[in-house]
Amino acid sequence: MISAIRLFFLFLWTLPLMVIAPLFIPFTLNRQFPLFVARTLFSSLVMKIVGIKLKVHGVENVPTDKPVIFVANHCSHLDIIVLCRSLPVNLHFIGKKELAWVPIVGWYMFIAGHIFIDRSNKRKAVESLKKAAVKIKNGKRVVMYPEGTRTKTGALGPFKKGAFHLALDAGVSIVPIHIDGTYNVWPAKSRTITPGDVVVRIGKPIEASKYSKKTIKNFMADAKLAIEELGKK
């Protein structure tokens, strides 16, 4: 019953804010205003609703003067909220193009400048990643989950190459992040929310310039090892 109440207030807070925040863009003359709201007002109250006590380590490792790609393990729907609150920069997320047609969510993502990827076939996926690379090179800081989906067990799964191709094409560093606790608060395919502690650990940037398309597997392995090591601290 308590979980149902938490979910009710979570959606009651989330959906109207997704509609309202973009409406302020013409007044603020800043397309990133909805991202600022997500990072401050939105994420702060969501964590109170679900009962998260957050601790963040390694904020000093976040570059604030250039675009980067943050790669993190993916444990829960709450990972987005937790990262918005943990990182001292506005974040863009990458989603499949079908999300653009989802009522309210798609409106918000499009207006706020989030990036859509066409995964209908390999050619279109490659073209979408190249367009995304240009946007990142021009200043967007992006979060990606290299596992591709939320973990079903809490363990870190195999990595996919997308985030690393994107980093190489954009010429930006990857910042590894380990999230611990969101799986216990709200695991995948569950309607039960259990308040608890969440710890986010941010690692040092991994320079894409050290790798190439031929050594992309090494790039992936180094990033995965970095996230695993952060999880042991």
SS3 171: coil
Tell me if 129 sits within 8 A of 162, measured CB to CB: yes
E strand spans, the chain: 52-57, 69-72, 92-96, 115-117, 142-144, 174-180, 196-202
What value, to the nearest 5°, has the Cα angle with vertex 19 and ends 131 and 66?
40
Looking at residue 146, its pLDDT comes to: 94
Which tens digit of pLDDT belongs to each residue from 15-58? 999 999 999 999 998 989 999 999 999 999 999 999 999 999 99
Pick the closest to residue 143 from 9, 38, 221, 40 (CA basis): 38
121 phi, psi to nearest 5 deg: -155, 170
What's CA 137's distance to the chain center, in Å? 18
Six-digit token string for 124: 């279109």
For residue 125, what pLDDT band results from cuts at 50, 70 and 90? confident
**In CATH, what number does 2-231 get?**
3.40.1130
Cβ-Cβ contacts under 8 Å for 166 (sequence gap 6 or more): 69, 129, 132, 133, 136, 142, 144
H helices present in 98-149, as ranges? 105-112, 122-137
Helices 2-20 and 43-50 pack at an angle, to 10 degrees, of 170
Mean pLDDT, rounded, for 93-110: 89
Please state, for a pLDDT cut of 70, what percent of the chain lies above it.
Answer: 100
Which tens digit of pLDDT belongs to each residue from 176-195? 999 999 999 999 888 899 99
Six-digit token string for 6: 């938490």
Give Cα separations from 137 to 18, 143, 210, 227 (angstroms).
26, 14, 17, 24
Show the 3-state SS of 183-217.
HHHCCCCCCCCCCEEEEEEECCCECHHHCCHHHHH
